[in-house]
Amino acid sequence: MYDIIIIGAGPAGLTAAIYAMRADKNILLLEKENFGGQITFSPKVENYPGFTSVSGSELAEQLLDQVMSYGAQIEMATATNVIDHGTHKTVVTDYGEFDAKTVIIATGSKHRHLGIDGELELIGNGISYCAVCDGAFYNGKAVAVIGGGNTALQEAVMLSEYCTSVTIIQNLSFMTGEGKLLKILEGKSNVKMVYDSVVTEFLANDTLYGVKVRNTKDGAISEITVDGVFVAIGQQPENEPFATLTALNDYGYIISDERCRTDTPGVFVAGDCRTKEVRQVTTATADGAVAALAACKFIDTL
């Protein structure tokens, strides 16, 4: 019987492990894929306190080293279900079943991909999914933003402040984001909007230099020369195994309060998989600390 099982070893889960072990709790950390989560895809992180510049993989490695230095027990396994017994929880995985007094869900979310050939290989070499994270690398360059919702429009507003041109590529004949954001963009001379169009190909040698676009109405093919592409078609939380355990919102995120508590006693959530306004590596690590301390307090009152 563990005190805490932490599902997910991204920044939120790793931070939760650090705080839980420092509180002398017996923990199990489960990870299904790679330690560090989405941050490992960022070639440079320049907005994490204490580091002028660090690669996402290096940051994740240092977090993991810190967790390992405390003697954490780690299993590479995919959580497929969590059963609430009231007094304890059973985490069902493809490796086996594990029991704990509390569970912290820190499975994160993943950016939706376009599914175009070469997309994953060009991440960090012309393709990004976060203007806050990577936008500054395109200062004085031309970029494209793919998408038409609030996220895409917000990314475009930010990029328009330091990029020479921003081309928004939307598959519909209108933007689905807020009118206020659209009005701001329409007033900028360096922003162009391309409607009824989808990207069919990334043009690249070692790095990206443009995109091939198809008009969905007349089928016309065109090429747009850009130095970078920001894919902003939403995020997808990985919370399907927990849909019967605790409440999810309409977008699949786990509903929680500011203490990272869910509506199921003894179940906590941290990081990008929970309902929140800002999803950054700093807010993920903050959630990890909050969730771990809340779980420790819960255990101490049992």
Q: Catalytic: which of 3, 134, 227, 287?
A: 134
Q: Are residues 181 and 153 in the same domain?
A: yes
Can you give the CATH number for the domain in which 197 is found?
3.50.50.60
Q: Are residues 257 and 293 in the same domain?
A: yes
Of 181, 199, 231, the domain-final residue? 231
Domain span at 34 = 2-111+235-300
Task: Show the tokens assigned to 55.
Answer: 């690669």
Q: Are residues 156 and 211 in the same domain?
A: yes
Q: Are residues 133 and 199 in the same domain?
A: yes
Q: Are residues 134 and 267 in the same domain?
A: no
Alpha carbons 150 and 257: distance in angstroms, whole number = 24
The pLDDT of residue 46: 83
The pLDDT of residue 116: 95
Q: Catalytic: which of 130, 260, 273, 296?
A: 130
Residue 130 annotated among the catalytic residues of the structure: yes
Of 199, 231, 263, the domain-final residue? 231
Residue 263 annotated among the catalytic residues of the structure: no
- Are residues 70 and 16 in contact, defined by beta-carbon separation less than 8 angstroms? no
Alpha carbons 152 and 4: distance in angstroms, whole number = 38
Q: Are residues 55 and 89 in the same domain?
A: yes
Task: Show the tokens assigned to 22.
Answer: 């420092």
Alpha carbons 93 and 105: distance in angstroms, whole number = 14
Q: Catalytic: which of 24, 84, 99, 133?
A: 133
| Domain count for the chain | 2
Point out the residues of the chain with pLDDT beneath 50: none
Closest CA to 288 of 65, 13, 40, 61: 13
Close Cβ partners of 121 (under 8 Å, ≥ 6 residues apart): none
pLDDT in tens, 210-261: 999 999 999 999 999 999 999 999 888 989 999 999 999 999 999 999 999 9
Largest Cα span, the chain: 66
The pLDDT of residue 67: 97
Residue 94 annotated among the catalytic residues of the structure: no
Of 179, 196, 231, the domain-final residue? 231
Task: Show the tokens assigned to 31.
Answer: 């990870």
